[in-house]
Structure 1
C-alpha cells in the first residue's frame, strides 16, 4: 500500500494522469479485500493489488476508458451478472472459474485536457482565463511573447513553444486575429486533437484554407478545422466570443469523443517552411492586419475607412462607433493592449 501512495504522490506532483482503483465490496473467494487500492497509469501499468489475474486486465481496460472520458466509474465484476443493473454501475463477467465477486471504484486523476491557445489577442486571453472553469488546462503560445527568436521562422518558434507541453490529446484554438493564422494551424499538425478552431470570418477562412492546401497540409487535417470557431450566439466582444468557442468545445467533448485528428509522424509531413506560403496567404497581408483596440475585431488597415493617428501609429477600427470611443480616451484602450 505504501508503494501505491508514494506513486500517487509523485504523479500528483508531476500532474500525470492516472486512475485510483479502490475495492469497495467483495464476495468470497475473491482474493481482494475491502479498501485495497491500485493505480493504473496512462500506459496501462497497474501498481498495487485489487484482485487476481482474472480481474486485472478488466480493471486496466476500464481504467483507460476512464482516462479517455474523464469520468468516474463504479465497476462490478461477477460470475453471475444481475438481471437488473443499477444506474451508474458497469457490470462485467468474471473471465475465469473463480466464483468471487468484486466491486471497485475507479477515480481518474489529472485528466483535465489541455486547451492550446495560439495568439496574443483579447479573445486568446479571454479563452485562457475562462478555460479552467470548464475543466480545461489552458496553455497559450504566441509569436508576440516569444523570447530570443529573431533568427527563427515563425512556424519553428511556435513548434518550440509547443514542445514544452506533454503531447497528449488536446483541444486547440488559433486566435491570432489574422496575424499568423496559417503558422498557428500548421504548428498543431502533429498533435492529437479532439477539436481545432480558427477565429476568423468565412471569407478569410477561404483564403487561409487555400494557403494550407498549397503549403502541403493534409486534407484530413484541413477538413478537421472548425472555422469560424464558436457557436452562433450573437457574441459581441472578446469574452462572449470566447464563451461561444468554449461552448462549442464542450459540446464536442460530450457529444463525440471518438472523433479526433491523430497527428502525423514528422517523417510523413509535407509542410514547407513558412516562407513557402502562397502570395495570397497570411505572409502578404500580415503587415496590414490590425486589431481594433476597442472591440478586439480584426481589421485591414488598407481597406478600413475608420482609422486614427496617434503618436505616429495608425489604429484601425471596425466602425465609426469604435473610432469615436477611442478618440475620446485613447489611454483607456491602449492600456489593455
Structure 2
C-alpha cells in the first residue's frame, strides 16, 4: 500500500533540502522568487510521492546557475518512469569509470537474490576472476557507491543494507534490466564462483562454529556466494559459465565450502548445536550432488560423462 504525503509535508521536505544545499541557497540569493518556484513546481510534479520529490530536488541540487534551475524546472517530468529514465541518462553521462561502477552496482541490486550489505557488495565488485582474491586496496568506499548512482541508492544505517531507494525504483529497473544489464547474471555467477575458490580457505570446511564465524567476518561475500550462486545460473548463463562451474565443482574444497554455507544459511545452527558430522557439507561429497540438488541439468550431464 502506497501512502501518499500531503503537499505540506512535501513542501517542508523541499524547503529543508534547499536550506541544506549551498548551491541552491546561493542561486536563491539572486532571485527572490526562485525558492517558491522550486517548491511549488516540485510539489505539483511529485503528485504526493516523496520519492519523486526527492529525485527532483536531487537533480536540482546539481545545477550551477539560476538559468539551469529554470530550465530543469521547465522540463521536469511528472511521471516516475520518465524521471528514472532521465536519472539513468545522467548516470551514463558521468565519466567512464563512474558510469561503469554505477551500472555494475545497479545490476547487482536489481538481480541480487536477497538484500546485500555494503561489505558484501564491496567484495563482490572487486573479486579477481583470475586469482580468486580480493585486494583490500581495491574495495570501493560506501560514499563513492552512493555518489555515482544518481540518488537512487541508499544504505540503511541500522543494518548496513545497501538498496534502491523505493520499490518503484526496483520495479523500474527490473523492467529494463535484461536490456540495460545484459551480462549481469554472468558477472554475478563468475564473481560468486571466484570468491568460493578463494585462497583464503585452504582448510576447506569449518569444523567449529567459532571457526565459521571468524571466516564469515573475514570474507563477508562468502555467505551470499555460497548460498545463492546457483540462483543466477540458468539457460545461457549455465552454458557460458560451464567451464567455470566444472572447475569449481571438481575442486572438492570449494564445493564443500559452498555446501557448508548453504547448510548454515538455509537451516541455521548455533555454537552448541553445531554438528559437522551430520551436515550437508559432509553428506554432499561430490560436485554432481550439488548440481542435482540445485537443478543444473546441462552441467549434471557433463559431470556424469566425466565420472
Q: TM-score scaled to structure 2, two decimals?
A: 0.29
Give 1 or 2: higher strand fraction: 1
The structure carrying a bigger helix percent of its residues is: 2
Per the normalisation by structure 1, the TM-score is 0.27
